[in-house]
Structure 1
Amino acid sequence: MVSGAAIEIRNVTQAFRSAGADLPVLDDVSLSVSPGEFVVLVGPSGSGKSTLIRLLAGLDRPLFGTVSVDGQPVTGPDPSRALVFQDPTLLPWRTVRGNAALGPQARGAGRESRKRIDDALELVGLSDFADAWPAQLSGGMAQRAALARALVNDPSVLLLDEPLGRLDALTRRVLQGELLRLWRDKGFTAVLITHDVPEALLLADRVVILSPRPARIRETLTIDLPRPRDPASPEFVGLQAGILALLDEESVTTPDSLHDRSATG
């Protein structure tokens, strides 16, 4: 069941003030995301990926252009658009359940949301650790707790800013599978940032490749490989090589064979 929201980014330009001058970050970026779609953003470091996520979350406003969700302009944060960072940012003086309850309690609905909190912890496999403290959790468990905190609001859009970037390879692979399961089960729209090209190909319906700053959308690839995807398959390896070539800053031209097309290898 798809319950996700449609995202529209139209002609967005963003710049920040630095040392008395404007530092351009995004340059006329436009992107449409369908309800329930899983879109992954990749690009060089500093290319504006996190800036774009912050605009979608409503933490910043664009200098020019518009950002809307289900036709409504994004003017600030909203529980329907949940954001998960690379760092779990758990409050150390709250238990796992207490951290998951932050959103409902902030809205004065802590008691009414008790079942939703327990359901979110069960979804991410932390029911047995509900009363544990953040210091007692592994990195993967802490990130699961951060996911529970986001999912308790039943978001229509889940924004993920490299949430698996600091995990070991095995834990990262397990949580990649968990993210896919949650996305399938809940039907939300997902937008993920990653520097890991294989991760992008494992998860995405579409991979959006940003240019170096000030970022423009350089390529958009629709990934038609069936799930679960095999990183050793010739199709997967070929797509990975093509994306890495596009991300190479020394590349001068864009291969026509990868331009705005469905990618099956």
Structure 2
Amino acid sequence: MTDTFRLENKIALVTGGGSGIGAATARELARAGAHVLIADLNLAAAQALAAELPDARAVAMDVTESASIASAFVSIPQLDILVNNAGIGLVGDITHTSEEDFARVMKVNVHSVFLVTQAALPLLLASHGSIVNIGSVAATVGVKQRFAYCASKGAVLAMTRQIAVDYPKELRINCIAPGTVQTPFVEGYLDKYHAHEKEKVRAELVARQPIGRLGTPEDIASLVRYLCSREAEFINGALIPIDGGWTAA
């Protein structure tokens, strides 16, 4: 079934593509035949990954700054796929979330999706392209001590559905909602907040997903590939959980 979910000659841009889910997505889209633009604030990481892949190129991009995004798009004349993956987290309930931290999470997780999608839209309309926003289960269920993060991912879901309504025939846009995925992001969280009890907390993270394990970046990347393929052309404006059964329980 090597001809399934193929993306030959498609141009794909992945934000936050230098590590974690973004890097796995870049690899998977390249495996499907796409030419991948790996956008990241960490240009060295993006360049190292691009060197491993056929027809890939690193793009320096700060997704929170319109000037940086505009500069990057100068060298992108065509685009078929946009994966809005870049994002950050924050631990804290509403009483332990500062105004500055809330603004930072919203800027990286929400404002960036607005800025990058707006910049990419003319190219995606021209190609009848596909957008995949990397959301979270936090868009639909409350996660303890994740006030700002839940708010930001709820906004990403709302933007996904709104764009699908405005452009139902011109492009496709969908939102993936991962559960907890084994990434440098999760390891950083464990190191920062639970250094003295990492394995205990890791077990708790696993336990909230009924399937009995954390997700992998490759799990998410496979779903991104499918959503961008012609086999998924009837899927639009959808939220698709990929969480080991977390939100079904």
Structure having the larger proportion of residues in strand: 1
> Which bin holds the TM-score, normalised by the shorter protein?
0.3 to 0.5
Structure having the larger proportion of residues in helix: 2
TM-score (norm 2): 0.35
Select the structure with the greater relative contact order (CA < 8 A; seq sep ≥ 6). Answer: 1
TM-score (norm 1): 0.34
